Amino acid sequence: MRGPKSTLTLISIIQTSDGMGSAGSASESTVATVTGVLRTLTGRERLASGSDMVVRTHRFYVDYTSDLDDQRGKHFKSGSQYYDIESVDNEFQKDIYMQVDLKERK
């Protein structure tokens, strides 16, 4: 993977119930710190990357990590910026590197 390296924090959102039937509160838990190449997708890549319903804004290339095998409820964070994980591709299931498509939260 060539390009400037970025370090993002993989976080999991933990929902806690207040015991009274309402949603309660949410807190962040750090799962891992991941270093890789983060790049912004061009307009053409955003359109070509999937259906009209899913918008991807960034692609993050990282060495294989099992922390991303199950990405449900996980997000990336860099400073105050959050990225939702849209898809994870473990190229040919070789466990060498992963391509993670992200959507930047506004």
Closest C-alpha to 71, from 35, 102, 27? 102
pLDDT (0 to 100) of residue 97: 87
Residue 75: exposure state from Cβ atoms within 10 A (0-12, 13-18, ≥19) = buried
Above 60 in pLDDT, residue 83?
Answer: yes
What b/e string do you get for 53-65 counting C-beta neighbours within 10 Å, with b at 16 or more?
Answer: eebbbbbbbbeeb
Residue 49: exposure state from Cβ atoms within 10 A (0-12, 13-18, ≥19) = middle
Closest C-alpha to 60, from 52, 74, 30? 74
Domains of the chain: 5-104 (2.40.10.270)
Confidence of residue 62 (pLDDT cuts 50, 70, 90): very high
Give the type of residue at 1. Answer: M
Q: What is the pTM of this model?
A: 0.78
Instruction: Tell me which of 26-30, 34-38, 66-70, 85-89 is least confident.
Output: 66-70
